[in-house]
Structure 1
Amino acid sequence: MTTVVVASRNRKKLAELRRVLDAAGVSGLTLVSLDDVPPFDEAPETGATFEENALAKARDAYAATGLATVADDSGLEVVALNGMPGVLSARWSGAHGDDVANYTLLLAQLRDVPDERRAAAFASACALVYGPGDDDSVVVRGVWPGAIAREPRGEGGFGYDPVFVPEGETRSAAQLTASEKDAVSHRGRALALLLPALRALAG
């Protein structure tokens, strides 16, 4: 078995990658989170793009552990806000990871924006680093288009899921089942693009 670090403490992200691997029939990989490896100094996320942040996170964890590492950076890009909150999605309201405060602020900022101009997309960049060289990495991007609802709906998911209505859906992302979300979500799409490299790692 090859051990792969998922550079996150979010158990839902670990479970999501495990489901994607299982659905694709990829075995031979043991997934561990940052909570399962010795602590190391994690650099702040200062990149201007999701790709830069994901690659920096994966390189940090690889350097600290010597283990192949998958990292993602993702967020919400709202057309009416010129692509914001973008890389600031997790701390849009000022406090990092306060989901309710973040989407409440977003809804307030879009209060006067009509329905036809509420387009948005979740974007996820996933990086896999499996060696010390510049060529020992793969970075992919998945995008999930949709629109911002007028009020939060649903109990599932996390982040902006309750206020995001995927294209072709009447339900919010927080009202989808985990398997429905995996099949179409930005991270699910990015992880699917990473599968050939992960399959190669699994041998």
Structure 2
Amino acid sequence: MDIVLATRNKKKVEEMSRILGGMDINILTLDDFPSCPEVEEDANTFEGNAVKKALAITKCTNKIAVADDSGLEVYALNGAPGVMSARYAGEGADDVANIGKLLSEMKDIPDEQRGARFVCCIALAYPNGKTETFFGFAEGRIGREPRGRMGFGYDPVFYPAGYEVTFAEMSPEEKDALSHRGNALEGFKKYMKAHYSEYKEI
């Protein structure tokens, strides 16, 4: 059974493949389907973007597609950067630029008000147009400077609740057990195992 991960982000592919390990599926990515389009993430919710990507890629490949949209919501910034997380500092911005903008905007926010959460929506789309969604969350707080070299995105400034190290200071396995994407993918895995006979025939 083939499943296409609707992303070209190598770090995200690595993380998702690791969490989905052990399942009786063959994981493909958009690199295996260079003719598939880049899907514009113009929805105003994580779910909207994830579903849009999954449907576009299942239509292109005629295979089951899995897409995710995820981001950081900072409570003191009214949920920003939210769905704009990947391009918070502008189109084409990298992780360093996005983190720099975030820390600049939070420089006057006291430690006790720096709460935030990561959000992830995983969308599963079948070639027949059927979709399912799975959500995951990771509560924590934003530090004042980047720490650690693991992970990607805002990981170097995100301290998960109850920890004094950032996601970027954790091993991949430690992060997987706590992360928003890990939580969402666990829900996805449970669904797939429960519906194995159904999706095996598609």
Do they superpose with TM above 0.5? yes
Asked whether the 8 Å contact 1:126–1:140 carries over to 2, the reply is yes
Q: Hey, what's the Cα distance between the residues in 1 that align with 2:110 and 2:83?
A: 25
The unaligned stretches of length 5 or more in structure 1 are none
Instruction: Call closer, same or farther: CA 1:168–1:141 in 2, change over 3 Å.
Output: same
Q: In the TM superposition, what is the alpha-carbon distance from 1:177 to its structure 2 partner?
A: 0.3
Q: In the TM superposition, what is the alpha-carbon distance from 1:95 to its structure 2 partner?
A: 3.2
Asked whether the 8 Å contact 2:65–2:125 carries over to 1, the reply is yes
Q: In the TM superposition, what is the alpha-carbon distance from 1:196 to its structure 2 partner?
A: 2.5
Deviations 1:135-178 (A, max 9, x none): x2110110000000011100110000001111010001100100
Superposed counterparts of 1:116-155, under 5 Å: 116-133=112-129, 136-155=130-149
Q: Hey, what's the Cα distance between the residues in 2 that align with 1:43 and 1:17?
A: 19
Deviations 1:26-69 (A, max 9, x none): 2x201111011142223311111000000000000000000000
Give the alignment's TM-score, normalised by structure 2: 0.93
Superposed counterparts of 1:26-37, under 5 Å: 26=23, 28-37=24-33
Partner of 2:157: 163
Instruction: Call closer, same or farther: CA 1:198–1:14 in 2, change over 3 Å.
Output: farther
Deviations 1:97-129 (A, max 9, x none): 510000011000000000000000000000011
Instruction: Call closer, same or farther: CA 1:157–1:202 in 2, change over 3 Å.
Output: farther
Amino acid at match of 2:32: D
Partner of 1:77: 73
Give the alignment's TM-score, normalised by structure 1: 0.93
- Out of 27, 52, 55, the residue aligned to residue 51 of structure 2 is 55
Percent identity reads: 46
| Segment drifting more, 3-12 vs 100-109 | 3-12
Aligned residues between the structures:
197
Instruction: Call closer, same or farther: CA 1:152–1:202 in 2, change over 3 Å.
Output: farther
